[in-house]
Structure 1
Amino acid sequence: MTRILIIDDEPQIRRFLTISLESQGYVISEADSGLAGLAQIRALAPDLIILDLGLPDMDGQQVLKELRGFTDTPVIVLSVRNSEREKVQALDSGCNDYVEKPFGVKELLARIRAVLRTQAPKDAAPPGWSDGHLSLDYAQHTVTLNDERLRLSPREYDLLQELVQHRGQILTQHYLLKKYWGSEHLDDSHYLRIFIRQIRNKIGDDPTRPRYIETEPGVGYRFIGE
């Protein structure tokens, strides 16, 4: 059974989430403050955490930073804060996804499933990924589309594999720029736009109706292929 911990100070939100998630077979625990949430994480070792940022005793961003000091349990932030700065800060601090209030239950459930799918055992890394059309071979560093091998540059391949291996999660521009270009290029988001455009062109992905790479404007990119 998958246990989800909800950290939110609004009783009506906790009740609504509990009813919705229990109907899908999840086991739910609740905490109404940051300190209570951190204690429950240590005591219960949940499989996923839903975290509100506006908590009464400490800011949710601080809760996120503290829990990342002792666990890699996936976190979905659920918050009324919709600024780009808040989203980027939470994602860079280690949350796996960011959902704004008000939210749709079906969308939240889909994001929960997507995040949980990425939590495969660390020692069971797959040799590649495929949806029957697009395929990546991690060992050979090759990409094929409908059985035809694509010519990707090393940087294009690295970015695509990074997105695929974190599918369902938003990877921020800050994270990708720091990892592949270095800290001195954190403001050079045009690098990413160029490479993502080139990757999309090669794998036949329409940015207006993406099948594989979804843009979170001003924040980053998410691989949505199943």
Structure 2
Amino acid sequence: MRPDILVVEDDSSIAQFVAASLSAEGMSPRVAATAAEARGELRASMPRLLIVDLGLPDADGVDLIAQWRSECGVPILVLSARMQEAQKIAALDAGADDYLTKPFGVGELLARVRAMLRRAAAAPAPAAQLRIGALAFDREARSLAVDGREVHLTPLEYRLFERLARTPGKVVTHRQLLADVWGGDQVDQLHYLRIYMGHLRAKIEADPAEPRWLLTELGVGYRLADE
């Protein structure tokens, strides 16, 4: 079956270029020029992947990504002319899986799309609920509680915790976490991971300096304790 991909782009020339490239690769693209059109397309049928421009005429792309990420787990690839690091981080924080800056080559676009589809297809379906001691995680409700106290997580913090919670007790390498949470072009940005792991520990651990659940494997990665 041809993967269904929704391209949300108000520049018709770029939208047509992306759609034609995806179609030639054996995919089935749909195009929406506005946030309103995209919402209609999503209501009609959920795609396998979203490709989203940040500069839409009727909504800010970052806000839109945050809204969609709270409603579904579809991978999101950002296409944008915004090149500043803070703008990229804002989109990734909101819930985007990867970021491609305009102008871009068709080869890189297709490689990233293929990689995101592979990761989504290969990911095993994790249990809806996970309980480890006083820690309770519910994927369907997108909620996390410690000792009965609900912990508010930002979209990116949630994605980082959820990635570790897929394989409790097993180490997830720095590069795996960076690729799965921030995107394939961020695998060398270890400071992102350290900063957000610090945020998570501050919210979850009784003593962030002596973590009970979010454990460090020196030089390798992190794991979520399973007992």
Return the TM-score normalized by structure 2. Answer: 0.62
- Partner Cα separation in structure 2 for residue 61 and residue 73 of structure 1: 16
Change (3 A) 1:75 1:181: closer
What is the DSSP-based 3-state SS (H/G/I as helix, E as strand, rest coil) of the residue aligned with 1:78? strand
Aligned counterpart, 1:50: 51
Aligned counterpart, 2:74: 73
**What is the deviation of 1:117?**
1.3
Aligned counterpart, 1:166: 180
- Partner Cα separation in structure 2 for residue 184 and residue 124 of structure 1: 25
Deviation string for 1:37-81 (max 9, x for gaps)? 122122220000110001101111111111112111001000000
Deviation string for 1:124-149 (max 9, x for gaps)? 79xxxxxxxxxxxx7885xxxxxxxx
Aligned-pair identity (%): 33
Give ranges in structure 1 of 5+ residues lacking alignment: 126-137, 142-156, 186-194, 201-226
Aligned counterpart, 2:7: 6
- Partner Cα separation in structure 2 for residue 183 and residue 124 of structure 1: 22
Contact 1:52 1:77 (C-alpha < 8 Å) held by counterparts: yes
Q: Does 1:177 align with 2:179?
A: no
What is the DSSP-based 3-state SS (H/G/I as helix, E as strand, rest coil) of the residue aligned with 2:79? strand
Contact 1:38 1:63 (C-alpha < 8 Å) held by counterparts: no
After TM superposition, list the pairs within 5 Å mapping 1:39-188 onto structure 2. 39-119=40-120, 120-123=122-125, 141=170, 157-160=171-174, 162-163=176-177, 166=180, 169=184, 170=186, 173-174=191-192, 176-179=194-197, 182=200
- Partner Cα separation in structure 1 for residue 179 and residue 108 of structure 2: 21
**What is the deviation of 1:24?**
0.6
- The letter of the residue matching 2:31 is E
- Partner Cα separation in structure 2 for residue 102 and residue 5 of structure 1: 19
- Partner Cα separation in structure 1 for residue 217 and residue 168 of structure 2: 22
Contact 1:177 1:183 (C-alpha < 8 Å) held by counterparts: no
- Partner Cα separation in structure 1 for residue 33 and residue 80 of structure 2: 14
Contact 2:36 2:58 (C-alpha < 8 Å) held by counterparts: yes
Give ranges in structure 2 of 5+ residues lacking alignment: 128-166, 204-215, 222-227
Change (3 A) 1:163 1:40: same
- The letter of the residue matching 1:25 is G
- Partner Cα separation in structure 2 for residue 164 and residue 7 of structure 1: 25
Contact 1:6 1:30 (C-alpha < 8 Å) held by counterparts: yes
Contact 1:38 1:67 (C-alpha < 8 Å) held by counterparts: no
Paired positions, count = 164
Change (3 A) 1:174 1:161: closer
